[in-house]
Structure 1
C-alpha cells in the first residue's frame, strides 16, 4: 500500500512494443525529480517541514512539486507560464499551492526570462523561501536512480540505448548516469525541439513548437552534454506524426516528446540493431488533444520520414536532424 498518491503515480510502466523496443511510459515523470529533491533537502536539513518551496514551471513540474510538497508537509509557490492549463491550476489550488502566471510573451525565451526574474523578486522579499532551481540544481538527479533500477531489472542484460527528451537534463541524463554506474552499456540519445539553446539549435525556429519541456530558450546548468552520444532535433509536425503513430500502433497515449522520442528510437534502431531501445514517454497526451491529436488525419506516415544526418550545427534544418554528439564540426 502506498503512503501517498505521489508514490503511486510516479512509477512508470515498461511496455514492450517489439523484442528490442520498449516504451517507458509515465503518467508524469517529473514527480521523481520533485520527490527526490524535496526528500534530499529534508534529509540534509536544507529545509524543514512547513517551509515554502518556489520554482518556475510551464505546468508539469508545477503539479509534481505541489504533490511532493503535499507529501512532505511543505508549502509551494509556482511562478507559471501562460501555458499552465485550467486542470493544473485547479489542482494546485486544491492542493494548497499558490500560482502566479507571468504576462503572455511572444516567445519562449521571454516567457522563461520573465518567470526567473519574478522568482528573484519574490526571493528578495521572502529570503526564507527555497528556490528549487529545477533547471540548474543537480539535486534533481537523485530521484531518477529508482527509474534506472527499474530499467536495469526489466530489460535483459546486454547493450542498451535510452532515448528521450533532454529537458532540464535531470531525466535522461540522470537515468543514463545511474544505468552506467550499474554496469550497463548505454548509448544515450537526447531529443530536442528546434529553437533550443541546449544543443545549439536556437538559430532554427519552429513557430509551432509546443514541446518546450524537452528544450530551452535559456541555458540549463544541469544538462551534462558529455553524457549524450547522439542528439535528434524534431519539429512539431514530425512529433505529432510520431505521437499519432505510437497511439495507433501500440495504444499508448502520450505527449509530443514521446512522439519525437519514438521516431528517434526507430531511426537509431535502424542504424544499430545490436541494442535494446527504450524510449521515454514523459507524460500523457491529454494536454495535447486540441493542439496536436485533433490533427491526426493530417499526420504523416512515419515510414516516409527520415532525419538529415549532419556533421555541423550550421547544417540543422527542418523537419528532423540528427548527429553524433559532439558533431564532427562544432
Structure 2
C-alpha cells in the first residue's frame, strides 16, 4: 500500500495561499502562487479580530487593481465579514464577478485617464465612505505594516525547500509587503539575502514617475502615489522594466516551463535569468505572485510580439535622469527613503 501525507484545509484560502516551488534549473527556482497576497490578508484580518480592532459587524474596505481585492474577499469569506472594494478600471469582469460571488461589494470609480488619477480617485472614494460609515475599517494595503506579518510563513517554506545560506530573491515591489517582508524574515533567520525589486516605468516609489511607458498595465507592482509601507532599506537593487520586457519574460515562462503566470512574474523572471546566468553558483528565487488568467487578453493574446529575452539588456544607471525604456537597473544598496532626493535631483553630484 502506498502512503502519502494528506493535508486537509478548513478553508480554500489556506490552500490557495501556499506557493509551488519549481526548479527551473539547478540553483534557479520560481515560487508560483495562485494569489500571494492571501498571506497578508489572512494574517491581517485574523490579527485585527484578535486585537478587537474590528469585530463581526465591521465592514472591511480598500482599493485594489484586482489581486488584493480577491485576497481580501477570500479572507472576509473565511472570517464571515463584509467587504467593500473600490476597484480600479483594470479589474477584469471575470475577476469582479468572482469577488462579488465571494460576498464582497465591488464599486468602481470613473475612468481617470491615468494611473495616478485612478489611484487617487479610489483613495478619495474610500476616505469619503469612511466619513459616512462608522463601522467601516480601512485595510490600507498601501500604508499599514500589518500586511508584512503573514509572509513569515512563506519565509519558512523557503528555508525548508531551498537549503541555502545565500539567496537572491526577485519580485515586484508594489506596496512592499511581500518581497520586503521576505527580505526581513529571511535575514532575521540568518540567510544572506540579495533582494531585487521590480518596478514599472511611471512608478513614483523609486523615482521613475517622469518616464512614460505607453503600454503600462502592471499597476500592481508600482505606484503613482506614495506607498508608506515600502521599506526602502530592504532592497539591494531596483530594475525598471517596460511592458515589452515583461511580455517576453511571461511568454518564455509558459513556453519553456509551462508556467502560466502574470506580467510581473515575467518581469521578475527576465531579471532573474540575467542575474543567474552571471552568477549560477548563488541560488536565485523568482516570485510569481499570481496566475496569468487576468492577462489572457492583454498579454497572452499578444504572444507573437514577444522578443527573445536575450535581446534585452539592462542599462546600469546612477541617477533618475538616466532612466530609459526598456530596462534600467540601479544598485540601491539598502539605502533609506531619503536617498530618493539625491537619486532624483536635477544636478547629480558624483561621490
Give the TM-score taking structure 2 as reference length: 0.92
Cα drift, residue 313 of structure 1: 1.4
Of 68, 71, 76, which aligns to 2:83?
76
The answer to whether the aligner puts 1:116 opposite 2:123 as a matched pair is yes
Distance in 2 (CA, whole Å) between partners of 1:208 and 1:304 is: 19
* SS of residue in 1 equivalent to 2:272: helix
Work out the CA distance in 1 between the residues paired with 2:67 and 2:166: 32
Deviation at 1:270, TM superposition (A): 3.4
Residues 1:230 and 2:269 are matched in the alignment: no
The superposition leaves residues 31-89 of structure 1 with CA deviations (integer Å, 9 ceiling, x where unpaired) of: 11111110110111111123110000111111110110010111100111112211122
Q: Aligned equivalents of 2:23 and 2:76: distance in 1?
A: 33
Q: How many pairs align?
A: 330
State the partner residue of 2:218. 211
- Looking at structure 1, the residues matched to 26 and 100 of structure 2 have their Cα atoms a distance apart, in angstroms, of 44
CA distance in 2, matches of 1:178, 1:38: 20
1:15 — aligned with what?
Answer: 22
1:296 to 294, 298, 303: 303
Mapped contact 1:159–1:274 kept (Cα < 8 A): no
Q: Match for residue 95 of structure 1?
A: 102
Q: Secondary structure at the match of 2:180?
A: helix
C-alpha separation between the residues in 1 aligned to 2:213 and 2:191? Answer: 36
How far is 1:158 from its partner? 2.4
1:150-165 equivalence runs, <5 A: 150-165=157-172
Partner of residue 291 from structure 2, selected from 252, 265, 284: 284
Counterpart residue number, 1:53: 60
CA distance in 1, matches of 2:45, 2:278: 40
Choose the corresponding residue for 1:176, options 183, 189, 202: 183
**Structure 2 residue aligned with 1:273, among 277, 280, 285?**
280
The separation in 2 between residues aligned to 1:102 and 1:253, in whole angstroms, is 30
Secondary structure of the corresponding residue to residue 27 of structure 1: coil
Unaligned runs of 5+ in 2: 1-7, 344-351
Instruction: Please name the residue that 2:132 is paired with.
Output: 125
CA offsets 1:8-45 (integer angstroms, 9 cap, x no match): 11100000001110000001111111111101101111
Larger deviation, residues 44-53 vs 4-13: 44-53
Name the structure 2 match of 1:317: 324
CA RMSD in angstroms comes to 1.3
Cα deviations by residue, 1:156-212 (Å, 9 ceiling, x for unpaired): 222101100001001000111111111111000000000000010001011211010
Q: Give the stretch that moved more between structures: 303-312 or 216-225.
A: 303-312
Q: Can you give the 5+ residue segments of structure 1 that lack an aligned partner in the other structure?
A: none
* Deviations 1:221-274, CA, capped at 9 Å, x for gaps: 010001000110000011000100111111101000000000111122234334
Q: What SS class does the counterpart of residue 219 from structure 1 fall into?
A: coil
TM-score by length of 1: 0.97
